[in-house]
Amino acid sequence: MPQTISSTLRNGLPVHRIGLEGTRAITILVAFDAGARTERPEENGMAHFLEHLVFKGGEKYPHYRDVNETAERLGAVLNAFTSHDLVAFHVTARAEKAMEALDLLSDFAGRPILDAEELDRERGVVIQEIQRYKDQPASVAADLIDTAAFGEHPLGRTVLGPEEHLRTFTRDGIVAFRERQWSGSRGGAYLVGNVDHLDDGAVAELLERFPTLPAPPSYDPAPALRPEILVEERDSNQSHLRMQYQPKIDVKNPAERAALKIYSTLLGGSMGSRLFDEIREQRGLCYSVWAVDHAYADTPILQLGSGLESGKCVEAYTRMREIVDELRTDGPTEEEVERARAYASGRLVLSFENSGAVARTAAYQSIVFGEPIDPDAVIRAIDDVTFDDVVTVARDVADTLAVACVGPHSADEF
């Protein structure tokens, strides 16, 4: 069982030290409740843009070359991500380099220069990133289903934002967003893995480079799912289909989130799942078909997807929807639940061999859901799910869904 020691710094930032036995690596992750969900309409894309900009340098490492070359000299892997939920920066290094890695991360993320010239240069880079996504039908479908399900709510907007926003963002606006959202009280620092080489006093000093900021305003509550159908017509042989439901679970309840995980696994999360077996193996309608669950801070989603020959898209859509209906009315079998539970828990255990996966899970537990940090509790929640728990989830997936598709189709086909 990982040992977690938590404290709070003078700037309000919680620090969680999570020791894992049997590893020679450490991951240091700093995250804030400052993802795309927290943006105002005119700011859409700013959280992700800011994530890019801080890598351009801080006070001690003032140039992007200083940041990149220092990481390489440490033999460290440096990265970040922005989702609707969070923005996070992380570095994984050999344990002996822990303090040097923290020095680097806390400098550029905690006190970034945000140089105006670099801002203009990076603006073009992110616009190219947006254009690249537009060239990928699967990425377009992923964004389109969010819009179909949530409309103009922040959860319905893209994380990257529209190109026109990137052209208008100013340094003052970006700094204002950071000062509004990057509050220690809505964030956390996670030091996960081999923690034997950490100096607690120096850890606090380095992490207090993040400024003391007031608590951010609360985000807009998630709306009910909209049963909208959105199609981006493209003259192509392949179609990319997305279907989204809103399961009836309490996302603040780890046991209910675990039950949804097992349901999505038996539905379309493995090669033994119903969707994979019937849509791909028996009917040969596609190469890729899947189901995945996700829990935002206040709403769950269940998403089904497939990439397939356009002529088979409507048939696949119809049968995928029927399979959800059958699980609602007839329920899964006990054997399906047992197999899905074993598969889901096994994948989780294997992922937790990676210190970065543990750090990311800890960030979601504490920041998104306000729960105590305990990676083993996530595994136990999966193991403890009963057959009846999964039957309840299946029964409560209402026959209301949003649909998105990229391909040679019209909305009335669905």
Query: Taking phi first (over 0 means left), then psi (-120 to 50 degrees means alpha), and beta for anything else, what does residue 75 get?
Result: left
pLDDT of the residue at 41? 97
Is residue 1 over pLDDT 70? Answer: no
Mean pLDDT of 223-235: 97
For residue 4, what is the enclosing H or E element?
strand 3-8
Contact criterion met (CB below 8 Å) for 58 and 66: no
pLDDT digits (tens, 9 = 90+) for 28-51: 999 999 999 999 999 999 999 999
Domains in the chain, CATH or no CATH each: 3-207 (3.30.830.10), 229-413 (3.30.830.10)
Per-residue model confidence (pLDDT) at position 52:
98
Q: For 312-353, how does the pLDDT look when each residue is reduced to its tens digit (9 = 90+)? A: 999 999 999 999 999 999 999 999 999 999 999 999 999 999
pLDDT for 3 equals: 86
By the 8 A CB rule, do 86 and 368 touch? yes
- Segment 238-254 shows an average pLDDT of 98
Euclidean distance between CA atoms 146 and 53, whole angstroms: 26
Is this model's pTM higher than 0.85 or not? yes
Q: Residue 391: its pLDDT value, please? A: 98
Residue 132 has pLDDT above 70, yes or no: yes
Tokens 């959105």 sit at which residue?
Answer: 230
Return the SS3 of 408: coil
- Mark out the alpha helices in 35-162 (DSSP H runs): 46-54, 64-73, 98-110, 116-134, 137-150
C-alpha distance across the termini of the chain, in Å = 48
Which residues, at least 6 apart from 127, have a Cβ–Cβ distance to it below 8 Å? Answer: 163, 166, 167
Burial of residue 282, with CB atoms counted within 10 A of its CB: 0-12 exposed, 13-18 middle, 19 or more buried: exposed
Q: Quick one: 287 exposed, middle or buried, by C-beta within 10 A (0-12, 13-18, 19+)?
A: exposed
- What is the Cα–Cα distance from 130 to 235, expressed in whole angstroms? 21
